[in-house]
Chains A and B, each alone.
Chain A
Amino acid sequence: MKLKKRIIQYEAERVVGFADEIRNVPGCEELRSCIQCGTCSGVCPLSTYMDYSPRQIIGMVQSGFKDKALRSHTIWLCASCYSCAVECPRKIRITDIMYELKQRAIQERIYPRRFPIPILAQEFNKMAQTHGRVTENVLAAIMFLKSTWWTAFGMWRLGLGLMRRGRFPLHLESIKRKDELNRMLKTLDKVTIDMLHDERGKGEPARGGGR
């Protein structure tokens, strides 16, 4: 029998105020009301593949174990099917919390090297932003080049099949009024920076992680 080593989490690893930070994000307000019942882990179609169950992730975030939560594979395995969010007896929008954790992991660049999921998310955004539309096959090609490029060889048959069926566009889709979208996103950048300044002005969040 293989003995499993127990991992102890120390108080020193906690980031005080992390739970409050997450709770202030629209959609994540109910975080504190989790009762650790595990319904989310039970209904999650991908929890068997996760390193920590959704319940454990929520627990980590609640107690401020930021690093562990952001480094987990769980947040990336969430496919956004919203099963947990509709089943949660405390109406916690777990999917939105997972989105928030993904965002933070990308901002802080803590995800495994060559891990395709965050790379896909970022490349998707770049494409949606610069061209206004997403051309799926081009996006997939870029994702493979930047992540596990060697696995792309296993995809030749799929690509060929899509081409034969006219489902493999050879030109990049794009919108006409790119400047309009650009202006919108530039203004937004300014707005978000202003908002951050406002929030910093309010001072440090309450110590001890909230209530």
Chain B
Amino acid sequence: MTTYSYFPGCSLKGSGRAYEESLLPVLRALDVELEELDDWNCCGATAYMAVDEVRACVIASRNLALAEKLSHKELLAPCNACYLVLNKTQHYMKESPSVQGAIQKALKAGGLTCKGTQPVRHPLDVIVNTIGLDAIRKRVRRPLTGLKVAPYYGCQIVRPYATFDDQYNPTTMDRLLEALGCTVVPFPLKTRCCGGSLTGTLPEPGLHCSYLILKEALRRQADVIATVCPLCQFNLDSYHDKIAGKWGAVRIPTVYMTQLMGLAFNMNERELGLYRGFIPMKPLPASKPAE
């Protein structure tokens, strides 16, 4: 049994709660426990960086300090934006003496300390590279044979820091999905931008980004898109009526990679939060549970 510190981020408590609902039981099934940081705060995401970069690093560093207080070796951040911001803060602490100085002074005022060296990891990385595909295959009770999946990674998980995979053509999730029995369709738009927060602020360019990804997934005859980021899931799943009104219908469900894992582990669909999506997933072909 390994335990990681866990930084859920605001989305996983709000619109992306299905991600947390599926992540926790799936990791528990793989003998991994998560300890949520006590009183964690918002990481700042991209919006904070746009107003004040040093302040953004400081509020993110509070979480790094809280994580270092716990005795676990690594910190898990399932949201792509949180994952990047926490990593970026550590990079700035290393590179820029002025940012490092500001952070240390601010933390001291809050009665905290932070070295900025504890690895921050994404669940996708931990599941495939630490837990390993063999352990996953052993745990699969109902292989998702015949389910065609388009793996969509989003941008900030691999860019700008290629922490565990290629910056344009990552394959970690592809291998994971294959281990679950899925058919992975070739998906060249796997790291193209989904529009980020533009879908809410400037729908015309923002939704067009989402539309292109959905259209490509349909063209590749995927049944479902798998994501690892709450904002990607939200953008690809929630705006279907608006997209249909502008460029034509491109209905395809978007789920979290952890939900597909849960299905393959024969967990309850409702408990995995699958009903929270706007476009429902088609029922899986009834396959016999493996012995």
How many interface contacts (CB-CB < 8 Å) are there between A and B? Answer: 199
Asked if residues A177 and B39 are in contact (CB atoms below 8 Å), the reply is yes
B205 touches which one: A49, A100, A177 (CB < 8 A)?
A49
Cα distance A183–B13 when bound, in Å?
26
- What is the predominant secondary structure among interface residues of chain B facing chain A? helix
Q: Which of B51, B95, B198 contacts A26 (CB 8 A)?
A: B95
Residues of the B chain whose Cβ atoms lie less than 8 Å from the Cβ of A102: 50-51
- Establish whether residues B10 and A82, one from each chain, have CB atoms under 8 Å apart when the complex forms: no
Q: Does chain B have a CB within 8 A of A9?
A: no
Q: Report, nearest first, the 9 A-B pairs whose CB atoms are least far apart.
A: A82-B159, A124-B47, A187-B109, A81-B155, A81-B193, A79-B196, A26-B96, A49-B205, A116-B201
Q: A147-B201, A192-B54 are in contact. List 14 more A-B contacts (CB 8 A).
A: A25-B53, A46-B198, A77-B198, A79-B197, A95-B160, A99-B49, A121-B51, A132-B41, A133-B42, A165-B277, A166-B276, A167-B276, A184-B109, A187-B108
B164 near A: Cβ within 8 Å?
A: no
Measured CB to CB, the residues of A under 8 A from B are 25-27, 45-46, 49, 77, 79-83, 85-86, 93, 95-96, 99-100, 102-103, 106, 116-118, 120-122, 124-125, 127-129, 132-137, 140, 143, 147, 151, 154, 157-158, 161-162, 165-169, 173, 175-177, 180-181, 183-188, 191-192, 195
Report the stretch among B99-107, B125-133, B139-147, B249-257 that lies at the interface. Answer: B99-107
- Bound Cα distance A99, B48 (Å): 9
A82 near B155 (CB under 8 angstroms)? yes
Question: Within 8 Å CB of A135, what residues of B?
Answer: 10, 14
Chain B nearest CB: distance from A147 CB in Å? 8
Q: A116 to chain B: which residues have CB within 8 Å?
A: 200-202
A-B contact pairs, 19 of them (CB 8 A): A26-B98, A45-B209, A46-B209, A49-B205, A79-B209, A80-B46, A80-B156, A82-B159, A124-B45, A125-B55, A133-B10, A133-B42, A137-B14, A165-B277, A169-B14, A173-B10, A184-B107, A188-B58, A188-B105
